[in-house]
Structure 1
Amino acid sequence: MLAYLRRRVLSSALPLLVVILGVFFLARLTGDPTNLYLPLSATAQQRADFAARNGFDQPVLVQFVDYVGQVVRLDFGESLRTAQPAATAVLRAFPATLQLAGAAMVIAVLAALVVGSLAAYRPNSAADRAASFLSSAASSTPDFWFAIMGVLVFAVWLGWLPTSGTAGAAAWILPVVTLLIRPFGVLVQVVRGAMVTALSAPYVKVARSKGASERQVIFGHALRNAGAPVLTVAGDLAVGLVNGAVVVETIFGWPGIGKLMIDSILQRDFAVLQAAVLVTAVAIFLLNILIDVGYALLDARVRQGAMA
């Protein structure tokens, strides 16, 4: 297992290097921050002093080498806007994103397990057809459209929910539902397909012949063996939730890493943007490692292959 994890870590090193390279150079395509942080009346000397103070007077390649050296030392620089360490802003925003994505993913998985299992228990029934329609509609609904319509209907027209912020449980409803709707739709289809296969397996017939109740058959035997493909897809969707939080956080004013990225782009705050993207990439990398470990624990064939 350790050899398997070592291979996965080494194989993910190159993508992380690409992220470091890409975010550094792409950030500079947003424009010169000097024009944003200094008034139009600033003199040439003031502009030169600003550039020298922030290292913008150096060639881009020199700036990149300095940046990589800082990252190795876990120094992400200072925010141009607040003059505080960029890592402080990122670490302050990232928990909000994890809370939002985590709540959405937990609810989506639990709901999908229930709906998908019930649909698979009686294929082609009314419940199965209703679950298929619901999952298809949910998986094909764009996040931004649902978010906008949710704000329009439940916040503006009905006045039941706030349009933005994090104060109170009501403020969580629209962002969480917006994030979970697509993973729920996809997972219902995956759970149903895996459960249909599992329920027709020989070990289920043996369990029933031994007098096991239907609850034991579904949740104790079939669902446990159908867990591997569900875990894999859920992990991929969880990674997508972290990325998709950019849109949701911007619409609902959620103080997470996605909103921080957008604000940093608009403000040309290079240090904060670079730190936010890099920390997000590392979090996704660690999440993928956890998914691989979970999949290996659920599937003996993967576990044996990892030990080979």
Structure 2
Amino acid sequence: MLTYLRKRIISSALPLVVVVVGVFALARLTGNPASLYLPLNATEAMREDFVVRNGLDQPLWIQMGRYFGGILRLDFGTSMRTGQDAADMALRAFPATLQLAGMTMAIAIVLAVFVGSAAALKPNGILDRFASFLSMTAASIPDFWLAIVGIWVFAITLGWVPTSGVAGAAAWVLPVATLVMRPFGALVQVIRGAMVSSLSEPYIKLARSKGATQYRVVGSHALRNAAAPGLTVAGDLTVGLVNGAVVVETIFGWPGIGKLMIDSILQRDFAVLQACVLLTAVAIFILNILIDLGYALLDPRVRPSAGARGRRRARSARRGNPTEIKDPAATGASV
């Protein structure tokens, strides 16, 4: 397990570095921040002083070296817009995004497990066809369109919920309902397919022949074996929510990391943008490691140690060494 975990950490660290370097370089292509932070009648001397004070007069590779040196000292720079520490601004905004993503995925997983399991009980039945239509529709609706329509219908026309903000439970309804559609649709398809496969296995027939109730067959046997693919897809969707809730947070004025990124891009606030990207990338990196670890715990076949033991048993069998073979059927012995 430790070998598997170490390999996953190493393979996931490279994309983290590439993303940080790419964002650092691309942010500089948005233009000179002096044109935003200085008045229109600013003199050339004022512009040069602004550039020097913010370290923008150095070559790009020197700026990048200083930036990575600051990361090692946990110094992410200061916001040009507010004068606050960039890391503090990112850390204050990130919990709002995590709360929104966590609430969304919790609702999506519960609904998808219920709908997908119910649909798998009678494949091609009425409930199965309705669940397939509902899931494909939910997965195909663009988030920005659903957010705008939701504001127009439920906030402006009916006045049931606020248009933006985080004050009160009603403010969560539209953002969560908008974000939950895509993961719900994808998870229903995955869980339904995995459950159909699990319910057709011999151990399910054996459990039913022993008098197991439908609830026990579905909940204790089939759903447990269908959890591995569902966990993988749910993890990927969670990563997408943490990384891609930018549009929804901007539309609903949600004070999360996505909205802060957009504001930083528009204001060319490089330090805050880089801190947001690095924090998001590290969170996704940790989440991917946890997903891989959970998948390895659910399915031992993906562990390198299990594979090594299997290869050793196979080599021993080819050499004719019966002491390495634990299955009596493999040696032709009667049980």
TM class, shorter-length: over 0.9
- Ranked by relative contact order (alpha carbons within 8 Å, sequence separation 6 or more), the top structure is 1
Contact 1:147/1:174 (8 A) holds in 2: yes
Q: Which residue of structure 2 lines up, in the alignment, with residue 228 of structure 1?
A: 228
- 1:249-291 alpha-carbon deviations (Å, 9 max, x no partner): 0000000000000000000000000110111011111110000
What is the match of residue 89 of structure 1? Answer: 89
Q: Structure 1 length normalisation: TM-score?
A: 0.98
Any idea what SS the aligned residue of 1:161 has? coil
Residue pairs, 1:126-165, within 5 angstroms: 126-165=126-165
Deviates more, 1:256-265 or 1:243-252: 243-252
Shift of 1:41: 1.8
Over 3 Å counting, the alpha-carbon distance change for 1:135 and 1:305 in structure 2 is farther
1:258 matched to 2:227? The reply is no
- Alpha-carbon separation, structure 1, partners of 2:13 and 2:217: 43
Match of 1:198 in 2: 198
CA root-mean-square deviation: 1.1
Deviation at 1:125, TM superposition (A): 1.6
Distance 1:122 1:14 in 2: 45
Q: 1:269 matched to which residue of 2? A: 269
Q: Shift of the alpha carbon at 1:16?
A: 1.4
What secondary structure is seen at the aligned counterpart in 2 of 1:173? helix
Q: Where does residue 29 of structure 2 map in the other structure? A: 29
Q: CA deviation at 1:230?
A: 0.5
- Verify the 8 A CA contact 1:27 1:268 in the aligned structure 2: yes
| 1:25-64 matches, cutoff 5 A | 25-64=25-64
Q: In structure 2, the residue corresponding to 1:164 is in which secondary structure?
A: coil
Could you list the per-position Cα deviations for residues 17-66 of structure 1 after superposition, in whole angstroms to 9, with x for gaps in the alignment?
A: 11121011111111100111111122222222211111011112111111
Contact 1:3 1:306 in 2 (8 A): no
Q: State whether residues 3 and 304 of structure 2, in contact with CA within 8 Å, keep that contact through their aligned partners in structure 1.
A: no
- With the length of structure 2 as denominator, give the TM-score of the two structures: 0.90
Residue 207 to residue 6, structure 1, CA distance change in 2 (3 Å):
same
Counterpart of 1:217?
Answer: 217
Match in the other structure for 1:248: 248
Quote the Cα distance in structure 2 between the aligned partners of 1:55 and 1:250: 30
Deviations 1:66-104 (A, max 9, x none): 111111222110000111110000000000000001100
Aligned to 1:80: 80
Cα distance in 2 for partners of 1:273, 1:149 equals 30
Shift of 1:306: 6.4
Q: Closer, same or farther in 2 for the Cα pair 1:306/1:78, shift >3 Å?
A: farther
Aligned residue for 1:12, secondary structure, equals helix
Q: Deviations over 1:227-265 (max 9, x none)?
A: 000001111111111122101000000000000000000
The yes-or-no answer on 1:185 pairing with 2:164 is no
The aligned residue for residue 122 of structure 1 is: 122
Runs (4 or more) in structure 1 with deviation over 4 Å come to 304-307
Kept in 2: contact 1:4–1:307 (CA 8 A):
no
Equivalent position amino acid for 1:164 in 2 = S
Alignment correspondent of 2:10: 10
The equivalent of 1:284 in structure 2 is 284
Tell me the distance in 1 between the aligned counterparts of 2:273 and 2:8.
27
1:264–1:92 distance in 2 versus 1, CA, 3 Å:
same
1:144-175 Cα shifts (integer Å, max 9, x gaps): 11111111111111111111000000000000
Say whether the 8 Å CA contact 1:132–1:189 is kept in structure 2: yes
**Which whole-Å CA distance do the structure 1 matches of 2:199 and 2:193 have between them?**
10
Residue segments in structure 1 that go unaligned for 5+ positions in a row: none
Gaps of 5+ in 2: 309-335
Aligned length: 308
Larger CA deviation: 99-108 vs 63-72:
63-72
**Who wins on radius of gyration, i.e. which is larger?**
2
